[in-house]
Amino acid sequence: MSVKNWLKERFPIDYNKFIEINENIFIKEPIPNHMKKWFYCTGATPLILLSLQIVTGILLTFYFVPSPEMAYESVRHITEDVRLGFWIRGLHRWGSSMMIITLLLHMTRVFFTRAYQKPRELNWIIGVVLFLLTLAFSFTGYSLTYNQLSYWATTVGTNMFKQVPFIGHWALVFLRGGEEVTANTLTRFFTIHVGLLPPLILLFVAVHIIILRIHGVSEPEGFEKGHYAFYPHHFYKIIIVTLFAPALGF
């Protein structure tokens, strides 16, 4: 019996239908004509960078040790001793900056083309949440290298939470795991960075894309009406735009 039949018997769904549905979702998605301009293609860039961050981030946890004595030392070890460690860490480090920059580009585009207007307000709000999540990623990730700069950035950053009325002090103690920045803070930030934030951001990204697909991309005036398929034109376009962002960064 062939593998295909074996699988079909144990997972009985209509495979032709399954392929057709996926084709419609991923390959034949209708893209409006104005998306041929790169300025309208910046939304997929942070998404691709996010997947890159996930891959390189997982790889980094293979060597990173979140303890005050070892954090800086293990980052040094990754950068200097581990084969291609500098490359993985560099991708993760610069990818994070690129994510912020491309998110700002994307938000600028949405803002100035009024793409946030009814019925897409909810998606704008989710987008802002995604931006805040990315900032949280950057903040917690920055503190993990545990050098002087990041230690004091953590101290100052968590201090700001103290100014929040009523819950400020509580938030500070929660983030630092005590009154001071200690080993507790480091392990907390590590857990938040690799355990808490990734599922959250993936969830919000999924909702963001689902809402986008339900309403379709907003179409500004002044462009020829019409659509083309996601693959190949748009597919390659977003890859090129994504590759362009780090190229600018480096």
Binding site for another protein (CB under 8 A): 59, 62, 70, 73-74, 76-77, 81-85, 87-88
Q: Measured from the CB atom, is 60 or 175 closer to another protein?
A: 60
DSSP code for 194: I
Q: Measured from the CB atom, is 60 or 115 closer to another protein?
A: 60
Q: Measured from the CB atom, is 81 or 180 closer to another protein?
A: 81
Q: At what angle do helices 197-215 and 121-144 cross, to 10 degrees?
A: 160
Q: How far is the CB of 68 from another protein (least distance, A)?
A: 14
Q: How far is the CB of 8 from another protein (least distance, A)?
A: 28
Cα–Cα distance, 85 to 79 (Å, whole number): 5
Q: Measured from the CB atom, is 7 or 84 closer to another protein?
A: 84
Q: Measured from the CB atom, is 88 or 130 closer to another protein?
A: 88
Cα–Cα distance, 206 to 243 (Å, whole number): 23
Q: Measured from the CB atom, is 15 or 62 closer to another protein?
A: 62
Cα–Cα distance, 105 to 247 (Å, whole number): 16
DSSP states along 156-206: HHHHHHTTSTTTHHHHHHHHHTSSS--HHHHHHHHHIIIIIHHHHHHHHHH
Cα–Cα distance, 232 to 176 (Å, whole number): 48
How many of the other CB atoms lie within 10 Å of CB of 223? 14
3-class secondary-structure state, position 82: coil
Q: Measured from the CB atom, is 40 or 64 closer to another protein?
A: 64
Backbone CA torsion sign across 54, 60, 62, 68 = negative
**Would you state the structure tokens that stand for residue 231, as one six-digit string?**
């693959």
Cα–Cα distance, 100 to 137 (Å, whole number): 10
Q: How far is the CB of 73 from another protein (least distance, A)?
A: 5
Q: How far is the CB of 89 from another protein (least distance, A)?
A: 10
Tallying the residues shown for the chain, one arrives at 250
Q: How far is the CB of 194 from another protein (least distance, A)?
A: 17
Q: How far is the CB of 83 from another protein (least distance, A)?
A: 5
Cβ atoms 144, 93 nearer than 8 A:
no
Q: How far is the CB of 60 from another protein (least distance, A)?
A: 10
